[in-house]
């Protein structure tokens, strides 16, 4: 490499590393501010949730890890609201239905209004189809607020009123969502890689919400019923892979805001292999490709940037050794801060969590890089045994006959 190209590589590495440091510090500070503001909102909303009618919807498909315990965990949720529960599936032969039927007697014996409904899919996004049918039903029409909780979320001791607080204290807050952390329940490279991404990288939702608090991640969210009715409910969203992204966009267009409530949800991790984890991450990134394509381009720049910066620094080391060294040092320091911040906000700083900290960076960067390439290479995706294709604009097409 010529000296001029080497110098250019060193300077690009230095500028890139500086940008990464700035972004990392900014994300960490904004996350701390969110936590402070959320505590103030919780205090302001203290007691306001008492008696508010809330319908919790749990769309189910297949048997997730600990599904029965997850469904019954609502009995140990922390809330002063008046709760009812609707569990739904799209096929009476789905194995989740048998688990729901096991849960119903326990839930009803505890005095909870708990129901099971079967709703055939009305579009390629089966979760959105279930939510559309549930929101059109009598239980939803009688509720002031609705909450979506995915079937792999454990609600034991969850501070639900903190999730509801933005809706109860803000006149034009249409929805609030909670970042979540995956609790690893199995050994192996796949579960470890998933944990590294979701609890040790910039893509960890407990840290990422500091960068994009107005976004919406669809695993655990609450919404005003009238806000959802104002955007036509969920029926128009069944043709999008990222129904949560489209929901947030439509709420914003209708004059409603979306806020993050940074009280951690817990999702039970599965036992899939590394390839399955990459496929799941690629499915999430395919949502960005279809619905927020410019954001997808930022992933190699920020979300797995360290290898690229180090490579450029190595190329420029001979021509500009000082600049290359500073760039490499800044990149490593920024990545270390990302890991520490993500682990801290994900609750992974206690005893028993330190051993794998050094693996978080390389494992999450590799997983995200492979998922990013997979999302760029193909618009097709598999979800719960169904083949789908994301067209331009984020529209979803079913590729199988069912």
Q: pLDDT for 249-277, tens place per residue?
A: 999 999 999 999 988 999 988 778 899 99
Whether the CB-CB separation of 247 and 237 falls below 8 Å is answered with yes
> What average pLDDT score do residues 200-210 get?
92
- Residues 181, 220 within the same domain: yes
Number of domains in the chain: 2
Pseudo-torsion of CA 372, 373, 377, 378, nearest 10°?
-40
* 20 and 57 part of one domain: no
**What pTM was computed for the model?**
0.91
Do 319 and 394 sit in the same domain of this protein? yes
Among 16-20, 115-119, 259-263, 361-365, the minimum mean pLDDT is found in 259-263
Domain assignment of residue 340, given as a range: 3-27+290-398
Is residue 241 domain-shared with residue 359, that is, in the same domain?
Answer: no
Q: Identify the weakest region by mean pLDDT among 113-117, 211-215, 223-227, 291-295.
A: 211-215
77 domain-assigned? yes
pLDDT digits (tens, 9 = 90+) for 289-325: 988 888 898 999 999 999 999 999 999 999 999 999 9
At which of 236, 269, 302 does a domain end? Answer: 269
Average pLDDT (115-137) is 95
Indicate whether 199 and 303 sit together in one domain.
Answer: no
What band does 351 get if pLDDT is binned at 50, 70 and 90?
very low
Which three-class secondary structure string do you get for 85-105? EEEEECCCCCHHHHHHHHHHH
The span from the CA of 123 to the CA of 397, in Å, is 9
| Best CA proximity match to 148, nearest among 176, 122, 107 | 176
**Over residues 4-20, mean pLDDT:** 93
Do residues 122 and 257 share a domain? yes
Our measurement of the distance from residue 339's CA atom to the centroid of its chain's CA atoms, rounded to an integer in Å, reads 18
Which residues touch 81 (CB under 8 Å, ≥6 apart)?
A: 49, 50, 51, 52, 53, 54, 145, 160, 161, 164
Per residue in 44-96, pLDDT (tens digit) is 766 778 889 999 999 999 998 899 999 999 999 989 999 999 999 999 999 99
Do residues 96 and 14 both lie within one domain? no
Tens of pLDDT along 20-33?
A: 999 999 999 999 99
In a domain, residue 285? The reply is no
**Which domain CATH number covers 170?**
3.90.550.10
> What average pLDDT does range 343-348 have in this prediction?
90
Let me know whether 243 and 358 are in one domain.
no
Same domain, 101 and 246: yes
Measured CA to CA, the distance from residue 170 to residue 125 in angstroms comes to 31
114 falls within a domain: yes
Residue 57 lies in a domain: yes
In a domain, 33, yes or no: no
- At 314, list the tokens: 């190595």
Burial 178-189 (b: 16+ CB within 10 A, else e): bbbbbbbeeeee
Query: Within this chain, do residues 307 and 167 fall inside the same structural domain, yes or no?
Result: no
3-state helix, strand, coil in the chain (%, to 5): 55, 15, 30
Any domain includes 164 = yes
Q: Does 356 have pLDDT greater than 80? A: no
**Whether residue 303 sits in one domain with residue 187:** no
Kindly state whether residues 220 and 304 are assigned to the same domain. no
- Residue 41 inside a domain? The answer is no
Does the residue 252 lie in any domain?
yes
**Side by side, which strands form the sheet with 153-154?**
153-154, 265-268, 180-183
Dihedral (C-alpha) 210, 216, 222, 223: value to the nearest 10 degrees? Answer: 120
């Amino acid at each position: 490499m010529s000296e001029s190209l080497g110098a250019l590589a060193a300077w690009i590495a230095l500028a890139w590393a500086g940008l990464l440091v700035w972004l990392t510090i900014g994300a960490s500070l904004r996350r701390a501010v969110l936590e402070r503001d959320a505590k103030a909102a919780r205090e302001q909303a203290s007691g306001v949730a008492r008696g508010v009618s809330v319908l919790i919807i749990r769309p189910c498909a297949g048997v997730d890890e600990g599904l029965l315990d997850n469904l019954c965990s609502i009995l140990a949720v922390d809330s002063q609201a008046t709760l009812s529960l609707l569990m739904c599936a799209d096929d009476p032969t789905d194995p989740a239905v048998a688990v729901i039927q096991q849960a119903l007697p326990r839930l009803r014996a505890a005095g909870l209004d708990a129901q099971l409904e079967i709703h055939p899919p009305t579009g390629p996004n089966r979760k959105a189809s279930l939510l559309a049918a549930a929101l059109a039903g009598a239980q939803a029409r009688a509720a002031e607020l609705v909450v979506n909780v995915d079937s792999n979320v454990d609600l034991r001791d969850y501070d639900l009123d903190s999730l509801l607080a933005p809706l109860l204290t803000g006149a034009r807050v249409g929805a609030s969502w909670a970042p979540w952390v995956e609790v690893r329940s199995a050994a192996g490279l796949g579960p470890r890689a998933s944990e590294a991404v979701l609890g040790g990288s910039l893509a960890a939702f407990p840290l990422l919400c500091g960068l994009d608090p107005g976004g919406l991640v669809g695993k655990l969210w609450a919404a005003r019923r009238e806000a959802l009715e104002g955007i036509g409910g969920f029926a128009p969203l069944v043709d999008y892979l990222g129904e949560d992204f489209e929901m947030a966009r439509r709420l914003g267009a209708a004059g409603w805001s979306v806020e993050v409530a940074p009280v951690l949800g817990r999702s039970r991790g599965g036992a899939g292999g590394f390839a399955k984890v990459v496929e799941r991450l690629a499915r999430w990134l395919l949502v960005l490709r279809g619905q927020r394509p410019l954001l997808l381009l930022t992933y190699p720049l920020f979300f797995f940037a360290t290898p690229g910066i180090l490579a450029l620094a190595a190329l420029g080391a001979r021509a500009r050794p000082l600049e290359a060294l500073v760039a490499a040092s800044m990149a490593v320091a920024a990545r270390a801060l990302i890991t520490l911040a993500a682990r801290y906000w994900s609750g992974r700083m206690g005893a028993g969590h330190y051993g794998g900290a050094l693996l978080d960076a390389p494992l999450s960067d590799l997983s995200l890089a492979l998922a990013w390439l997979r999302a760029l290479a193909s618009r097709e995706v598999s979800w719960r045994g169904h083949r789908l294709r994301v067209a331009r604009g984020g529209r979803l097409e079913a590729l199988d006959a069912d």
